[in-house]
Amino acid sequence: MAKDFGRGPFGQEKKDSVRRWLLFVCLFGAGIHFPRPVFSQDILPEAVTVLIEQMAERAAEAGDDGYGGAAGMEALVRYYEQLLRQPLNLNAATRLQLEETGLLTLFQLESLFAWRERYGAVRSATEWALVEGFSPETVARLQPFFSLGDPAERQQAAQTYTAKFRKKWKQAGFSLTTKAQYESQSLSLSAVLDNDPKERFPDFISLSARYNGFYAGDFTARFGQGLVLWKSFSLTAFGTPSAASRRGGGLQAYHSTDESNFFRGVGWSGGLGRPADCSDGLGRPTGRGRLGQWTMSAFISRNAVDARLVDGRYTSIATDGLHVSETEKAKRHTMHEYVAGGNVTLTRGRWRFGVTGVAYAYDHPNGRKVQDYNRYQQYDGLWGNLGADVYGSLGSLRVFGEAAVDAHGAPAVLAGALWSPSYEFETSLTFRCYAPSYIATHAGAYTSLSSVSNQVGGAWAAQLIQGRWTLRANADLAWYPWKRYRQEAGTWGFNGRIQLLRSFTGGAEAEVQLAWSSRLKGRLRLSLPAGDAWQLTVRSDANLGGAAGYADVRWRPSRRWDLSARMTLWRTRDWDSRICFYERGVPQSFLVENYAGKGIGAYLVAKYAPTRNVEMWVKLQQGYAAYFVRIFIPG
C-alpha cells in the first residue's frame, strides 16, 4: 500500500500571479464532476475516499486514527474493490451483509426486506427503483456494488492472482506485493508476500485458510461495538446516522499487507441449534426457535511482534513493519504475543445479545518508562477484557451498546440509538465513557484517540432529504479527564461537519461543505453529466491557512482502456494548514497526500485489459512509479 503523510512542493516554480489565478479557477470556478455509470467500476464511493482522508489527517495529527490505522485504511479500500469486482447479491444477502456495506440507510434496508417478503426477488433496476427509498439516481449509484441474482444462487469459486511493483525514482530499493487467493462458499485460501523499499523479498508472508467455519493462519476478529475485540476497519467514522453502530463480522480471513493488525493461529466459528427454526429465508431471524439462534467463535493466536528489548524487557513496540535500518532490523520479531479469545451470541427475533472475552500476554516483561500521560496505559504479565453487547430494533428505532471491563476492573461503556422514521429523515446519538485506566490492546470502538481510553463523549449525526435537497450534519464532543501526550488533564475536543447537497435533472449535483476538527475547512463541488468516454472532476478545499484544488480527467473509450490524469495546485501557510487529498492508484493501493507550502503536482494512471480476466495497470507520478497485474479466473 502506498502511504505518504507529508510532501513538499515539486515541479518548476511558477509565478505567484499565475499560480493564484489557476488556484482561483479551481476553488471558485465550480468543481466539475462528470459521472456516468460506465465509469463506476474501480471507482470507490466518494464517502469512502473522504473517510480515508479523515483517517489520514488523524494519523498525521495523533500518530493513529482510532479506526484501525493503516491496516484499517487498506482493508477499507480492499473491501470496496472486492465489492466492485464481485458485487453482493441483493436478493440473497443477509441483513448483516447489507449493513456492512455502509451504502444503505436503515429505512432503505427495511423497505428492501419488506419488498422481498411481499414480492420476492428484485429482478431489474427498474423494479429496484420502485422500492420506497430508492430513486433511479440512487439505483444507478448503487448498481456497481450489487447484483440482482437468484436468491438461491451459490457463490462461484474464483481465483485471483495479483502483483504490484512500486519504485521511487531517486530512492534505492523497491516494494513488491504479490497475492494469490481462491474463494468459494466453503473454502478460502490466500497468500500474501510483501516487502517495503530496501527490504529483502519477501519481508512479510501471510497465509490464511478457511474451511466452512474453521480458520487457520492469519485472520481478524470483530465483535460487538469493539470495546473488547475489533481488528480491521469500521464504517462508524463515516459520520452518517446509519453508520453509527458497528456490525461485527466475527472471524474473517486476513488479506492485507499490514504486518501487525491480525491474529495468527487457529479459530472456529459456527452456530448451534437449527438455523431453519430462526430464519425466514430473507436473512432475518424470526426467533421461532425456543432458545433462538446461538453462534459461537473461539481462537488462539501466537504472533511475532517488533519490539526494542533492553535487558530482556520491551521498551517500545513498532507497528510500521519497516525493517530497513539496523535499528529496525534489530527489533524484527524479537517478541511474541499469545492471545486466546471468543464470543457467544444469541439472536432472537430482532435482538442480538453477545458476550466477548479475550486474554493476552507478551513473552517479555514490560520495561517502558512511566510518564504522566501513559501512567494508566501500561500492564505486565497476563491481561484481558470481558464485555457484553446488545443490538436490536424497535420499529424505526435501533439501539445498540456494549459494556466492558479489563483485568483490573476498569470500565468502558458505549451506547447509542438510531431513529429512521422515514426515508426523508434519520438521526443517531451515541455516548461513550472510557476510564483513563481502561486497557484493551485489541479494541477498536469509536474513539477520538489512538486508544479506547480516557474520554467521555457523545456523537450525533442527522440526515434530512427534502425533494432534491439533502442536508447532512454530524458532531462529536469529547472530554479527556486524564493527561494526554503534550496535553493537560481536563481538556476538550470537538469535530463536526455540515454538508448541503442539491441534485438536478440528468444527474447534476452541487455540494457545499464546512467541517471543523483542528481547523475550519470548506469544500465546493459541482457535478455535471457528460459523454460516455470522458469524465472531468474538479474539486477544491480551503481553510483559514490556505487552499488546494485539482482537476482530474478520465478517458475510458472501451472496456480495455482506462486512463486518468490529475493536476493539483496548492498554497498553504504552513504544515498545520495542510490539506489532504485522496489520490487514485493502482488496485490494492492508495495515496493520501498532505499538501503544505505551495506547488503543482501531477500523476497518470493507466489500465489495459487485453482480456476480460487480465488487467495491467501503471501509475506514474513525479517521485515514483507503480505497476499492477491482476489475473482473475472464474471457478
Tell me how many degrees the CA angle 249-255-259 measures, rounded to the nearest 5.
105
Which is more confident, 216 or 200? 216
Q: What is the DSSP string of 558-619?
A: SSSEEEEEEEEEEEESSGGG-EEEEE--STT--EEEEE-SEEEEEEEEEEEEEETTEEEEEE
Q: Residue 164: its pLDDT value, please?
A: 87
State pTM to two decimals. 0.80
Spacing of C-alpha 131 from chain mean position: 28
Q: Is the peptide bond before 35 cis (omega within 30 degrees of 0)?
A: no
The answer to whether residues 226 and 451 touch, using CB atoms and an 8 Å cutoff, is no
Q: Residue 65: its pLDDT value, please?
A: 38
Q: Return all residues near 130 (Cβ < 8 A) that are at least 6 apart.
A: none
Phi, psi of 158 (to 5 degrees): -145, 150
**What pLDDT, in 10s, does the model give residues 311-321?**
999 999 988 88
Tell me how many degrees the CA angle 567-570-574 measures, rounded to the nearest 5.
150
Question: Measuring CA to CA, how many Å separate 211 from each of 189, 217, 405?
Answer: 9, 12, 33
Q: Which three cell numbers stand for residue 113?
A: 426486506
Tell me which residue has cell 453462534: 295
**What pLDDT, in 10s, does the model give residues 421-476?**
888 899 999 999 999 999 999 998 988 888 899 999 999 999 998 888 889 999 99
Provide the residue ranges of all domains of the chain, joining segments of one domain with +.
1-35+158-177+196-202+507-635
What's the mean pLDDT when you consider all of the chain? Answer: 81
Calpha distance 49→57 (Å, rounded): 12
The answer to whether residues 618 and 627 touch, using CB atoms and an 8 Å cutoff, is yes
Which is more confident, 278 or 212? 212
Q: What is the DSSP string of 334-353?
A: -EEEEEEEEEEEEEETTEEE
3-state SS class at 43: coil
Question: Measuring CA to CA, how many Å separate 68 from each of 46, 172, 231, 328?
Answer: 20, 30, 7, 22
The two beta strands, 293-310 and 546-555, are unpaired
Mean pLDDT of 374-396: 91
**What pLDDT, in 10s, does the model give residues 15-64?**
444 344 333 333 333 333 333 333 334 566 666 676 677 666 665 554 44
Question: Measuring CA to CA, how many Å separate 410 from each of 376, 439, 453?
Answer: 10, 8, 10
Split at pLDDT 50, 70, 90, the class of 300 is: very high
Q: What is the DSSP string of 470-521?
A: EEEEEEEEEEE-S-BTTB-SSEEEEEEEEEEEEE-TTS-EEEEEEEESSSEE
**What pLDDT, in 10s, does the model give residues 112-141?**
888 888 888 888 888 888 888 888 878 877
Q: Alpha helices of 63-180 — where are they, by DSSP H? A: 69-85, 95-101, 106-119, 125-128, 136-142
Q: What is the DSSP string of 312-378?
A: TEEEEEE-S----SHHHHHHTT-EEEEEEEEEEEEEETTEEEEEEEEEEEESS-B-PPP-TTTTTS-
DSSP annotation of 230 reads: B
Q: Residue 209: its pLDDT value, please?
A: 95
